[in-house]
Each structure stands twice: as structure tokens, then as C-alpha cells.
Structure 1
Amino acid sequence: MRPQTIQIYLPAGDPRGVRVAEITTRIVRVIEAPRSQLGEFVKTPEALQVGVYFLMGELSEAGLPRVYIGQSSSVGNRLAQHNQNKDFWNRVLVVISLTNSMTQTHALFLEWFAISEATKAGRYSLENGNTGARPHTPAPLEADCHEIHETAATLLATLGQPIFEPLTNAPTARGEKELFYCKGSGADGVGEYTTEGFVVLKGSQARLEIVAPLQDTARSRNREKLIEEGILVKQSESLIFTRDHLFGSPSTAASIIMGRSANGWDTWKAANGKTLDELKRQTVAPTA
């Protein structure tokens, strides 16, 4: 990570309307448009360019935002088609070149790489289905693509869509991670407290059954959706997390793991036995 200057331009002055984002020293631009204003975007010169696009939509059953990733030699025309035949999306983000130098070869590799990286990150529910085959790309163009992708990923995250950002925290300079543990009857969870909430790590074990008071509640329904989407899978006498999963709070994560109501601030503990509350909340003292 390094400091960067990002410019966001609002053509109509509306922060929820069309937004144009650039890193001031790069040639990549990301244009975001609500579906209701797609007609305005397709009339612009940028809509005639080669581009990679991201259709953003409503939440999946397990609460993950949905995305469809595509590319086109005339991105505006392709989006007009999707406006007719894809229902789930409500916003689109389009990656183009300021110098109009992106080719179809670039776009095909960027589409494949973006699907692969989004799948790896596990933040979004992909509507594409699978990554497909890696397209043949000459080495110089592939190097260009990695630079374009890096810039696009930063701009997408800045616009509120961290599609490629890891769920977990980066290791410290010594290669260490601050992990928290949640253990109980049939439960053995491992997770990280992050800037966005609490991430339960792949391989964590959740109790198979939930207690009666938790049945027919929002948390039990959330648990069922995680099972339906394959994020929680039955294995022996427990449920296993098949991938890292972000929860909005430590308590929600603990309740899913334990199969009962739980105060995550006290339930999640570091290896030294200190609670999440002691290490993260009590250290923030009010000023005099």
C-alpha cells in the first residue's frame, strides 16, 4: 500500500448519479452509473470504447452482494443488451482507457483475471458461474493488464465496491496475524477483527444444531442461507465454513458458530485468553 491521489468527478453534481474516478497519474478511468441513468452513459464517447464492466446488484440469499463481470469492444452496446435481459443489477462500473488504448486482447484477459480474483476474494456472489479458460495473451500485453487491473481494483474499492480486496487483514511486518478463537459444544471458530466487521476463516467449525430460542430469528435464517449457498457445509457432526466469510459484527459471527445467542466481544478470545473486548474496545479510552 502507498499514498495515492484519486479524483472523483460528478458530471451532474449528484453523488449517487454518474461518477467518474481516476488516479491522477494513471490512464485508467472507472465510470459508475446507476441503471436508471444508463441511457446517458451510452450516449458518451466512452461507451464506444473497449471496456470491462461490473454489473452490481441486490444481495444474494446469504447476504453477499451480486456481481456480473464482462467485457466488450463496444461497452455501451453490451450494457444496453444487459438492460433488456438481466434483472438483478442496479449499478454498473465500467473500466476504460483514457488514451483509448485498451484492445480486445486486453479486455478478454482482464475479464478472465477479474473473475478469477473476485472468486478468490470471496466477497461477492458471482453471476458468471465459472472463470472459464485463460485466454492466450502476449507477455507485454499481460503486463499491461496487471497494471490496469491494479488501478481498476483501487478505483472500484474507492467507489464502494471492494470486489478484489482480501477479507482478512494483511500480516504484520513479522508475518504474524492477530487471530481470535470461539470454542464451545460442537463449535471451533477462528477469525479476525477487521475494519469492516468480523471475518470467520475457512475451516472454522460451527455447531450443527441451534438452540430453541434462536429458531425462527434473523440469525437462524442467516445460518440457513449460508448453508443454502454452500458457505456452511455439513461434515460429520458439525458445519464447516468452506471459505472466509465477513459478518457485520463479532456477535453475529459468534452466534452462527455457537448456534445460540452470544456476545462476540466476550466470546472471541486471543491465544493469550484475552477477549476481543479487552484488546479492541477497552483500549479506546475517552479523552479528558
Structure 2
Amino acid sequence: MTRAIGRSLELYYIDGRPDGMLTAELFNWTGHVLMAPRTQIADALVRPEAGYAGVYLLIGEQDGEPRAYVGEGEDISSRIKSHDVGKEWWTSAVLITAAANKLNKAHVRYLEARLIAEARAIGRVPLDNGTNPVPAILSEADVAKMEAFLDNLFIVLPAVRVDMFIRRSRPPAKPSTSSQVEKMPGASLQFEDAQRFILETKKHGLRATARLSDGEFIVEAGSRAREAWVGPDGHNYAHLHAELVRAGTLKLESGRSVFTEDYVFKSPSAAAATVNGRPSNGQVEWRTANGGLTYREWEARKLGAVSGY
């Protein structure tokens, strides 16, 4: 297994405000990201990098749903000025360029096409783009450079509050050839399948399975969830539920929503709320697959073992 390598990211808040313009750069990467709220777009477009060749994202909401647009240009500022008039829904812009204006027209056309394809494949945010452009034809070396550029960009974007390219689906876990037993350091108690959890709500015929792997809480494909969201409309998890339906991760089958793929949640409570169709406390609703401990109890034992309590 290849060990994950840490990366160094620098965020610079241009006017000292966390909700204002900021730039983001990775160490040893030529890319440059500028994030600006629409209220400061005039200030953003007079910066030198705004006149470079690059790609850009317009982000906002339309009719209560998130929306985005991906564009490219040899002079980003002129392209955004035209959209400032034609598109009313966007509230922030992300300008993506390279140091010393090293991207050319073919590069940015390739990046635009790949970003559109990736956003639509993930399905988290609907795009205002009408077509799926074909990537520009590049040399083998340039394709490798642009794919490396994208790999770095997908690390930077979440740091500037853009999560539409985070892929939360996961391949199914490989079946184990032996009984999975986890022994906590310093403890005599062993837990079979201690990192597997079940949530059942028999009243509504719901049963979901999940696993905790590499720090990710993953609800597994085939898990049965509530057919629709029944909690408060404005709740954060209501938006998450709608996002999963829109992306096809939740699909209605025989009066129940079924997970079509393994999906990573930020917390057990987010996963429980999606399964139950209402706000839920995942710390107590998820239970270990073998011993029936709540997630909270299981976690407390893990922490106690590590601490030597």
C-alpha cells in the first residue's frame, strides 16, 4: 500500500476577511486559484492573474438549488464580465490560472471539458453549461501535465469552499477470507467486525450497513433508506438527501430508497439522517454488527483502550 503524502497549502486572505477574496496555492505547483464573492468581482478582475488564460467557476443558487458554471478563456476577466450581465444567479467566482500565464488555449479547453465531465459524473451540483465539450487534442506529455494539474486543483478547491468535485462514492469493500477481528491495544476484549455497523428501523422497514475504513464512514450499496425526506425542509441534511437523490446515489425501489453505491458521509449522524429521512443521532442509532454496541459506546471503548483507561 502506498503511504499517503501530506501536502502544504497556502491560503491568503487578501483583505483580511474570511468571507472576502482569497488566493490558494500548493507548494511546488504552478497553479493559482483566486476566489472572490460577486460583491468584490470588480476588484478581482483588475488583478494581473485575471487577465491570464485559465478556467473559471461561477457558483451560486437558482430556484433554491445549488448551481455552477464552468468556463474558459484566454483572458478570464473579459469572459466573466460577459457572464456578469447574462447570469444573475451566481454569487462567487473562482479563477484558476498558472504562474507566468503558462496555460494556453488548448490547455484551458482541455481543463474546461474535464471539469464539466467530472462535475456531471459526480452529480452533486447541476451545471448551467448546455453542452459537454470535447477535450482539446493535446500531446501525450501535455495530457499528463493537465491531469496532474487537475489532481492538484481538486486538493485546493475544497479549501476555498468548493466541494462539487469531491467524489464520495467508493468501490465495494473486498470480501474478507477470514473472520475480521479487531483487538484494541491494551484491552483483553476483542470485537468481531468492530468496524462494521448496522442501523435498523423496523417500523419503516429500513436496514442499512456501514463500515468505518481509513477514517471514512461508508454506507454500503444495497442499504435501504426512507423513501423520502420527512424532516424539516430547511435542515442541512435535507439538502444532503436531495443531493443524493439528484446524483442517483439514492434510488426509489419498491417503496424504499436504496443506496446504489457505497457512499462516504462526513459523520455517522449525516448517514443516519439520510437513512431515516429525518435528523438523527448517528452516535446512538448505528450499532456494531456483532455486539450491538452503539457507535458512541464502541468509540468510547476504543478511546479508553488507546488511553490505557
Taking structure 1 as the reference length, the TM-score comes to 0.77
Aligned residue in 1 for 2:187: none
Deviation digits for residues 80-108 of structure 1 (CA, Å, limit 9, x no counterpart): 12211222321111110102110111111
Match in the other structure for 1:229:
246
Cα displacement string for residues 39-62 of structure 1 (whole angstroms, at most 9, x for unaligned residues) = 112122212211111222248857
Single out whichever of 103-112 and 176-185 deviates more from structure 2: 176-185
Give me the TM-score of the superposition, normalised by structure 2: 0.72
Q: Relative to structure 1, is the Cα distance of residues 106 and 238 closer, same or farther in structure 2, using a 3 angstrom cutoff? A: same
Is residue 272–residue 286 contact of structure 2 (8 Å, CA) maintained in 1?
yes
Q: Using the alignment, how far apart are the partners of 2:101 and 2:125 within structure 1?
A: 29
Helix, strand or coil for the counterpart of 1:152? helix
Whether contact under 8 Å (2:107, 2:136) holds in the other structure is no
Whether 1:5 aligns to 2:8 is yes
Count of residue pairs brought into register by the alignment: 282
Q: Which residue of 1 aligns with 2:31?
A: 28
Distance (whole Å) between structure 1 residues aligned to residue 135 and residue 69 of structure 2: 18
Residues 168 and 194, structure 1, Cα contact 8 Å, conserved in 2? no
Counterpart of 1:97?
A: 98
Identity score, percent: 26
How far apart are the structure 2 equivalents of 1:191 and 1:227? 16
One-letter code of the match for 2:142? Answer: L
* Structure 2 counterparts to residues 1-288 of structure 1, below 5 A: 1-58=4-61, 65-128=66-129, 131-167=132-168, 178-185=195-202, 186-191=205-210, 200-208=219-227, 225=242, 229=246, 231=248, 232-242=250-260, 249-258=267-276, 262-273=280-291, 274-281=293-300, 283-284=302-303
Tell me the distance in 1 between the aligned counterparts of 2:24 and 2:274: 38
Unaligned runs of 5+ in 1: none
Name stretches of at least 5 consecutive residues in structure 2 with no aligned partner. 181-192
Once residues 223 and 14 of structure 1 are traced to their aligned partners in structure 2, the CA distance between those partners, rounded to angstroms, is 28
Secondary structure in 1 aligned to 2:225? strand
CA deviation after TM superposition for structure 1 residue 19, in Å = 1.0
Moved more, 52-61 or 152-161: 52-61
How far off is 1:17 after superposition? 1.7
TM-superposition CA deviations, 1:202-252 (whole Å, max 9, x none) = 543223378xxx576767966984687364432123222356666665345
Q: Secondary structure at the match of 2:10?
A: strand
